[in-house]
Amino acid sequence: MGEGLGVRVSTDKQQQWVIPEPLRLKMVEVARALRRTPTPTEALLWQNLRSRQRGYKVRRQQPIGPFVVDFYIPQVRLIVEIDGLIHIEQQDKDREREVLLEQLGLRFLRFSTAQVEQHLAKVLYSIDHIV
């Protein structure tokens, strides 16, 4: 699983990927494009996470290997994903992606768009509690 994504190299604690430079540059461009056109739900969450206002750094649309994640909190290696309607149709693909990223020692929090839009305080509390 994931062999076409780059060469995976084991380290003492976890795996890391060595990504070909053309793919890395492509993923940086994809991330930049996604930052320019956030979904309304991503924009809402970002307004509450940006500029270290909660006491920790958050990166938005962060490339990690051959993927771009919605939000990444490097100090605790936490990925925060917002799942819209498209994710209902691609649950298997999302799970495979999550497993690959977990092999790098990363953790996930997933929220639906409804959770973020209707229960923002609970979503922020869940993130804060891990950080």
Encode pLDDT of 16-44 as tens digits: 788 899 999 999 999 999 999 999 999 99
Checking if the pLDDT of 11 tops 60, the result is no
pLDDT at position 84 is: 83
**In the chain, where are the structural domains located?**
3-130
Q: How many Cα atoms are found within 13 Å in the side-chain-facing hemisphere of 13?
A: 3
Rounded to whole angstroms, the Cα distance separating 126 from 70 reads 16
CB 105 within 8 A of CB 27: no
Q: DSSP string covering 81-96, please?
A: EEE-THHHHTHHHHHH
Residues facing 80 on adjacent strands? 71, 109
Q: What is the pTM of this model?
A: 0.85
Q: Any idea which fold 3-130 has? A: Endonuclease; Chain A (3.40.960)
Q: What angle do CA 61, 67, 48 make, to 5 degrees?
A: 20
Average pLDDT over residues 100-104: 92
